[in-house]
């Protein structure tokens, strides 16, 4: 029986996931590999209409197909002009021209970004850890790279997929060509790819596991690459915040060319770094904060020892439920200490968990700089920048947590606020400013909360 038929017999993806005790991401991978792992067979055999021969037939068919592929030239020599490949776990092989650093295969979740500019900021955004980024805008790399546009010291994304070949830099701000910058970061890119086709696949079928290969010896074994892609476990259940967080440090740099007056009465803020972008920290400083950054694993005691007037929860990569195993207990103690809290992206998801909610993996993540979000209280629509594959489950929120923002694309949650604590958060990136300044008010709101608390305590 075909895997899709098995899922249908079980009552759909949600039902079969609950029956097998897995997440929807696992079901998606079953569809990619065209079979159900044997350890889940006993649970599925309890479903009327599913018999052992249905599961074994599916496995046998898959193995037969793989054997036939091995008997035909599995190495699939590169077509003329190609020296790199992007292989998806569903068996799709896309040939192209590699640039940047050579790699025998970087495997991760393939996603797309709709930004027309800011490729350097995108690739250094720690939220893209574990992901290969496909750019929908065809001309990437044309303006080169510079030392100012990084959002973190290291490139977080695993690789870049683009349509057109990289040209020479055409900007007075460029310090280094894009391909050379990728080599410096040990990452590869691939050009000559139909990025619109990839985007349609991701839009219709959700994120796909993929592997990007640009080997130095030019030998590309697509069968081996496909096997590696199918073995990758996926982002669900993966804690990546520990991999991208940075040590304790003070942050004093504000937004460049800001016209806002410098505040005299500044507020002490601890920024939890789950993968913080530098521009977020700049926005906090410009809004009137003296910022101390702590690593993702900092305890509540380490946070409260600094006597913060507010705690900021940053963006970051991976599964919020996995990061929450150590982050949520610390956040709860901060809330119990009656310290104001403001979170964005992963920080939003962690705050929701600390307040009693849950998160889930989106079938289609939100990534790009043109995401419309509605403030449900004011009716105002903001054009936002987003990068997340997980979301807060509104149905799981307790009565003392209200929804403040929603996505106008799919209706998913984009913001919450506690009605009993000075704590609020948004799913999007207010510091990215695609609006260009639609969302800076959130940083000012955070400071206003601390100002009010300071005035009341005086």
Q: 84-234 has which CATH code? A: 3.50.30.20
Active site residues per annotation: 345, 429, 431
Task: Let me know how long the chain is.
Answer: 458
What pLDDT score was predicted for residue 65?
47
Q: 241-457 has which CATH code? A: 3.40.50.880
- DSSP letters along 192-255, please? S--HHHHHHHHHHH--EEEEEEE-TT----HHHHHHHHHH---STT---HHHH----EEE----
Domain ranges of the chain: 3-70, 84-234, 241-457
> How many Å apart are CA 369 and CA 359, to the nearest integer?
23
> How many Å apart are CA 124 and CA 130, to the nearest integer?
12
> How many Å apart are CA 330 and CA 353, to the nearest integer?
12
From the annotation, which residues make up the binding site for L-glutamine? 127, 316, 318, 346, 349, 387, 389-390
Per-residue pLDDT of the chain (458 residues; tens, 9 = 90+): 678 788 888 888 888 888 888 887 778 777 767 778 877 888 888 888 888 777 765 444 444 444 444 333 444 567 888 999 999 999 999 999 999 999 999 999 999 988 888 899 999 999 999 999 999 999 999 999 998 999 999 999 999 999 999 988 999 999 999 999 999 999 999 999 999 999 999 888 888 999 999 999 999 999 999 999 999 999 999 999 999 999 999 999 988 766 666 777 899 999 999 999 999 999 999 999 999 999 999 999 999 999 999 999 999 999 999 999 999 999 999 999 999 999 999 999 999 999 999 999 998 888 877 889 999 999 999 988 888 999 999 999 999 999 999 999 999 999 999 999 999 999 998 876 554 556 788 999 999 999 999 988 85
From the annotation, which residues make up the binding site? 127, 316, 318, 346, 349, 387, 389-390
> Which residue has tokens 């009010």?
452
Contact at 8 Å (CB) between 142 and 169? Answer: yes
What pLDDT score was predicted for residue 433?
57
Q: 3-70 has which CATH code? A: 1.10.260.40
* 84-234 shares the fold of 3-70: no
pTM: 0.81
Quote the tokens at residue 139.
């001309």
């Amino acid at each position: 029986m075909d895997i899709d038929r098995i899922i249908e017999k079980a009552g759909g993806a949600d039902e079969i996931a609950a029956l097998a005790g897995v997440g929807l991401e696992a079901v998606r991978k079953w569809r990619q590999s065209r079979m159900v792992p044997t350890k889940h067979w006993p649970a599925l055999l309890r479903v009327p209409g599913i018999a052992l021969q249905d599961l074994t037939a599916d496995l046998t068919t898959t193995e037969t197909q793989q054997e036939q592929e091995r008997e035909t030239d599995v190495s699939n020599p590169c077509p003329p002009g190609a020296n790199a490949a992007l292989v998806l776990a569903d068996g799709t092989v896309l040939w192209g021209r590699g640039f940047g650093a050579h790699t025998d295969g970087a495997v991760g979740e393939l996603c797309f970004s709709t930004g027309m500019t800011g490729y350097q900021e995108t690739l250094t955004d720690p939220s893209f850890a574990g992901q290969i980024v496909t750019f929908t805008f065809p001309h990437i790399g044309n303006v080169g790279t510079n030392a100012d546009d990084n959002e973190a010291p290291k490139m977080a994304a695993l690789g870049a997929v683009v349509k057109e070949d990289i040209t020479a830099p055409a900007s007075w701000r460029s310090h280094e060509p894009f391909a050379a910058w990728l080599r410096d970061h040990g990452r590869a890119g691939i050009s000559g790819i139909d990025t619109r086709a990839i985007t349609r696949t991701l839009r219709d079928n959700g994120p796909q596991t993929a592997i990007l290969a640009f080997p130095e010896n030019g030998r590309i074994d697509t069968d081996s690459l496909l096997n590696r892609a199918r073995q990758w476990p996926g982002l669900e259940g993966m804690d990546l915040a520990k991999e991208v967080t940075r040590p304790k440090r003070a942050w004093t740099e504000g937004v460049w060319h800001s016209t806002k007056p410098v505040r005299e009465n500044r507020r002490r803020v601890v920024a939890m770094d789950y993968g913080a972008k530098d521009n977020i920290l700049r926005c906090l400083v410009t809004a009137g904060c003296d910022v101390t950054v702590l690593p993702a694993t900092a305890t509540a005691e380490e946070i409260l020892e600094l006597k913060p007037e507010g705690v900021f929860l940053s963006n970051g990569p991976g599964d919020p439920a996995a990061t929450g195993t150590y982050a949520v207990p610390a956040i709860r103690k901060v809330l119990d200490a009656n310290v104001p809290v403001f979170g964005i992206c992963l920080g939003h998801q962690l705050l929701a968990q600390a307040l009693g909610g849950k998160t889930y993996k989106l079938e289609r993540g939100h990534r790009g700089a043109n995401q419309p979000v509605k403030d449900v209280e004011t009716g105002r629509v903001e054009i936002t920048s987003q990068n997340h594959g997980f979301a807060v489950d509104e149905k799981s929120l307790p009565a003392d947590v209200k929804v403040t923002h929603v996505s106008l694309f799919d209706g998913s949650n984009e913001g919450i606020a506690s009605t009993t604590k000075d704590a609020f958060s948004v799913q999007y990136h207010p510091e990215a400013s695609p609006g260009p300044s639609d969302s800076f008010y959130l940083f000012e709101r955070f400071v206003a909360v601390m100002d009010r608390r300071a005035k009341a305590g005086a």
